[in-house]
């Protein structure tokens, strides 16, 4: 179910499972930041090694968090409910206004009573049809669709990078401290230090593998202009495939370093005003 303000440009899915998963994601990011800064880097904060790695850890955590928030709070490309009209009202002017061509088959979603453009699918969690819907991700409490896919890709990228970076720091710290029986390695007791670092290693391995797979699958889908649902259903491509770099720019915007910035919004896709939420 959507937030009551969604029709005024705001977007938030009121799904209990999704909200719990999103909060848990924030907790995992904060936990990784805490262990790296307060346990692993604390004895080295007066050195270049400590300061540099502190800055990198905070930067990656910030980029991952912003990417997650923007994925969660950005309309993925929802079609307004009840946009379908009766056959009597389906005039040629109305059809052209929606962006359809004369003689083109028009589909109506029986669940949300909207006119479904090509490549749109209905999400049972969001209760809406989503343009170029890839999948619904509970970890970001939202669908991944045409208008927020960039932020989801960046989220998986920065989480994977953060996990690998934390694994390197945690691994080197663990073996270095093991030589001194974890004495004076952190402000915490040796037992607490071991538990905190081991859980970070477990978290890093698990989510590094998961997010790297998700990142690779997303890039593959964008590169080949085929969403996850279309791949799963083995849908025949009825759309005109574009050049692969054009597919990338459709998601991330014009070629620039801003592809890597979750603060930058890619240009809006051209769409009929009938499809504006």
Helix/strand/coil for 184: coil
Phi then psi dihedrals of residue 197, to 5 deg: -70, -40
Give the other-Cβ count within 10 Å of 112's Cβ.
20
With tokens 């080949």, the residue in question is 224
- Specify burial of residue 62 (Cβ count, 10 A radius: 0-12, 13-18, 19+): middle
Q: In whole angstroms, what is the distance from residue 164 CA to residue 205 CA?
A: 8
Q: Please answer whether residues 277 and 75 qualify as being in contact, where contact means their C-beta atoms are separated by less than 8 angstroms.
A: yes
73 closest CA partner among 135, 26, 133, 143: 143
Q: Please answer whether residues 165 and 60 qualify as being in contact, where contact means their C-beta atoms are separated by less than 8 angstroms.
A: yes
Q: Which two tokens stand for residue 223?
A: 């590169």
Output the CA torsion 195→197→198→201 (10° steps).
160
Q: Which residues have a catalytic role annotated?
A: 137
With tokens 């080295």, the residue in question is 44
Sequential DSSP letters for 195-223:
HHHHHHHHHHHHHHHHHHHHHHHHHHHHH
């Amino acid at each position: 179910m959507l937030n009551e303000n969604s029709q005024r440009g705001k977007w938030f899915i009121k799904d209990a499972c999704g909200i719990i998963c999103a909060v848990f994601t924030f907790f995992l990011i904060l936990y990784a930041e805490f262990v790296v800064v307060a346990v692993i880097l604390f004895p080295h904060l007066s050195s270049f090694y400590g300061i540099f790695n502190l800055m990198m850890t905070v930067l990656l955590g910030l980029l991952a968090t912003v990417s997650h928030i923007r994925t969660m709070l950005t309309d993925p490309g929802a079609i307004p409910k009840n946009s379908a009209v009766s056959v009597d009202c389906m005039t040629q002017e109305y059809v052209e206004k929606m962006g359809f061509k004369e003689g083109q088959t028009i589909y109506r979603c029986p669940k949300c009573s909207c006119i479904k453009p090509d490549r749109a699918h209905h999400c049972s969690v969001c209760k809406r049809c989503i343009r170029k819907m890839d999948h619904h991700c509970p970890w970001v409490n939202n669908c991944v669709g045409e208008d927020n896919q960039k932020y989801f890709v960046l989220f998986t990228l920065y989480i994977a990078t953060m996990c690998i970076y934390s694994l390197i720091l945690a691994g080197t710290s663990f073996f270095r401290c093991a030589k001194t029986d974890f004495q004076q390695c952190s402000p915490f007791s040796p037992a607490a230090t071991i538990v905190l670092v081991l859980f970070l290693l477990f978290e890093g391995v698990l989510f590094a593998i998961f997010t790297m797979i998700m990142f690779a699958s997303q890039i593959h889908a964008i590169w080949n202009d085929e969403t996850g649902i279309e791949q799963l259903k083995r849908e025949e491509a009825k759309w005109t495939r574009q050049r692969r770099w054009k597919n990338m720019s459709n998601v991330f915007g014009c070629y620039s370093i801003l592809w890597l910035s979750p603060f930058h919004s890619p240009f809006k896709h051209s769409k009929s005003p009938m499809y504006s939420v």
